Copies of this chain bind each other. A is one copy, B any other.
Amino acid sequence: MKRTRFDDWPCGIARTADLVGDWWTPLVLRQAFFGVRRFDDFATSLGIPRASLTARLDRLVEEGVFERVPYAESPARYEYHLTPKGEAFLDVLLAMWRWGEDWLNPADNPIPVQLVDSESGEMVRPKVVDETTGRPIEPARLGLAPVIPGRRDQ
């Protein structure tokens, strides 16, 4: 699409959007968290076009989100395993999940998919807090620092 790139903007949101800011990448990563590792399993479980999947996986391997791990020699076969960087992305998916469940739940959705703790069986409700204080983050008190005046790529 000749899309604008954000990967060197000095803002984590912009750089994250550059990498996962398309419709399929978050879902590919979601599948990875639920145990999908192989090309065909990604393709058939999501219905993503194979060419699109190839492009996504290549970029994610290049960025160190997935590691390409051989599991068969002849013919050579590879699995896509989440790296620590990839596993850390769970927080973003959880935030997306929570917002989607809270605010985009269609009225006629009969069976919402829920997150559970597999040991306790309890529902998991992801929430973003400040790591140091443990308190919710209030939009009104939030500021950017340093702000660079007139700079457009913030």
Q: Which residues of A contact B (CB under 8 A)?
A: 1, 3-4, 6-8, 10-27, 30, 33-34, 44-48, 63, 85, 87-106, 109-119, 122-132, 134, 137, 139, 141-148, 152-154
Task: Tell me if B104 and A19 are in contact (CB < 8 A).
Answer: yes
> Looking at the complex, which one of B21, B48, B129, B131 makes contact with A23 (CB distance below 8 Å)?
B21
> Looking at the complex, which one of B34, B122, B142 makes contact with A118 (CB distance below 8 Å)?
B142
Task: Give CA–CA (A13, B148) in the complex, Å.
Answer: 33
Question: How close is A22's CB to chain B, nearest CB, in angstroms?
Answer: 6
* Residue contacts A-B, CB under 8 angstroms, 8 given: A10-B113, A11-B30, A12-B98, A13-B97, A34-B144, A92-B99, A114-B144, A118-B142
Task: Tell me if B139 and A7 are in contact (CB < 8 A).
Answer: no
Q: Which residue of B lies closest to A104 (CB)?
A: B15
Q: Which residues of B contact A14 (CB under 8 A)?
A: 27, 30, 100
> Looking at the complex, which one of B117, B144, B152 makes contact with A141 (CB distance below 8 Å)?
B117
Tell whether A100 pairs with B142 under 8 Å between CB atoms, given A47-B152, A113-B154: no
Task: Give CA–CA (A139, B4) in the complex, Å.
Answer: 33
Question: How close is A121's CB to chain B, nearest CB, in angstroms?
Answer: 9
Question: How close is A34's CB to chain B, nearest CB, in angstroms?
Answer: 6
Tell whether A125 pairs with B130 under 8 Å between CB atoms, given A100-B11, A111-B148: yes
> Looking at the complex, which one of B87, B92, B102, B129 makes contact with A129 (CB distance below 8 Å)?
B129
Task: Give CA–CA (A59, B91) in the complex, Å.
Answer: 26
